[in-house]
Amino acid sequence: MEIVSTVSDARKIIKEWKKKGLKTGLVPTMGYLHEGHLSLIKKAVSENDRVVVSIFVNPTQFGPGEDYETYPRDINKDSALCESAGADLIFHPEASEMYPDGSCTYVNMTGLTDALCGRSRPTHFQGVCTVVSKLFNIITPDNAYFGMKDAQQLAVIKRMVSDLNFDINIVGCPIIRESDGLAKSSRNTYLNAEERKAALILQKSIFFGESLVKKGERDAAFVINSMKEIIESEPLAKIDYVEIVDMNTMKNVSVIQGEILCAIAVYIGKTRLIDNFILNIC
């Protein structure tokens, strides 16, 4: 496995792979890898001849006062994990390599990015779309892998790929959870012992909401309010949002039918965590 930090070095390697007709998978990450990321890398390894993992804490997707500076980083541990999962190349650029002085072009989306996390973090998806477009242009993968914990991100990227005619297949991979149910996230490391216990309220409300819908409840407001009640029973939890939206448009639904995303964002202390369930109701 090789590690490169410049666009030109990454391109040299990819060019050789392309000459040999090798199929390439890309797993974009911000590092501090956990089993969720490893599941993406392993899937990519099983479906491609070569796999690139990008490790880049992307400044443009963090808003003012968010955790860009403190976001956890450990490239040595990440490299070992990528190698053991079977990756061939890590692309680990500096911010100045991705955004040289004078950079002023951004990829902006409307509609899908106005809801959920896009409403709470107004510049977030512009940063995500910009960096993912750049990674797509640098690595030119056949397949790119994203986790479904960030379900809105996955929907946004699929839309961007279609709108901007990227010739890349986007693969969504299921949420990986800790043994007690908490969705794996690099940000879980921010939680102290008391907060870690309190964070279980996210999956408790997700599992409850999902079971209501599976049992036949179709009133979105009823499901949302029942989930909110559960979260509000935890003193350390503060709701950012609990919403049920159409999976394709990210618009709120009042009646649950078709492919829906129920997504939540909750602060546990200062840490903002997200979780969701997706169901297709015929």
In terms of CB distance, is 58 or 203 closer to ligand PAF? 58
Tokens 């509609």 locate to 111
37 is catalytic: yes
In terms of CB distance, is 150 or 243 closer to ligand PAF? 150
Task: Give the shortest CB-188-to-ligand PAF separation in angstroms.
Answer: 14
Binding track over 56-75 against ligand PAF, x by CB under 6 A: --x--x--------------
Q: Which two tokens stand for residue 278?
A: 């997706």
Binding track over 151-180 against ligand PAF, x by CB under 6 A: --x---------------------------
Task: Give the shortest CB-62-to-ligand PAF separation in angstroms.
Answer: 10
State CA 193 to chain mean position distance.
25
Name the 3-class secondary structure at 251: coil
Determine, following the binding rule CB under 6 A, whether residue 150 of this chain makes contact with ligand PAF: yes
Q: Which residues are registered as beta bridge partners of 274?
A: 265
Determine, following the binding rule CB under 6 A, whether residue 140 of this chain makes contact with ligand PAF: no
Stretch in the footprint of ligand PAF (CB under 6 A) among 23-31, 160-168, 248-256, 257-265: 23-31
Identify which of 150, 144, 207, 140 has the alpha carbon closest to the alpha carbon of residue 171. Answer: 144
- Antiparallel, parallel or unpaired: β 24-29 and 50-55: parallel
Q: Which two tokens stand for residue 52?
A: 């690139």
Which of 10, 87, 112, 132 binds ligand PAF (CB under 6 A)? It is: 132
Stretch in the footprint of ligand PAF (CB under 6 A) among 4-12, 126-134, 233-241, 270-278: 126-134
Determine, following the binding rule CB under 6 A, whether residue 128 of this chain makes contact with ligand PAF: yes
Q: Which residues are registered as beta bridge partners of 33?
A: none
Name the 3-class secondary structure at 61: helix
Alpha helices in the chain (DSSP H): 7-19, 35-47, 75-85, 95-98, 116-120, 124-139, 151-163, 193-198, 200-214, 220-232
Query: Total number of residues binding ligand PAF (CB under 6 A)?
Result: 10
Determine, following the binding rule CB under 6 A, whether residue 39 of this chain makes contact with ligand PAF: no
In terms of CB distance, is 29 or 140 closer to ligand PAF? 29
Binding track over 179-208 against ligand PAF, x by CB under 6 A: ------------------------------
Q: Which two tokens stand for residue 95?
A: 């911010």
In terms of CB distance, is 147 or 209 closer to ligand PAF? 147
Distance, CA of 210 to CA of 190 (rounded, Å)? 27
Task: Give the shortest CB-31-to-ligand PAF separation in angstroms.
Answer: 8
Tokens 């409300």 locate to 205
DSSP state of 63: P
Backbone torsions φ then ψ of 31, nearest 5 degrees: 80, -165
The residues of the shown chain that bind ligand PAF, judged by CB under 6 A, are: 28-30, 58, 61, 128, 131-132, 150, 153
Which residues are tagged catalytic? 37
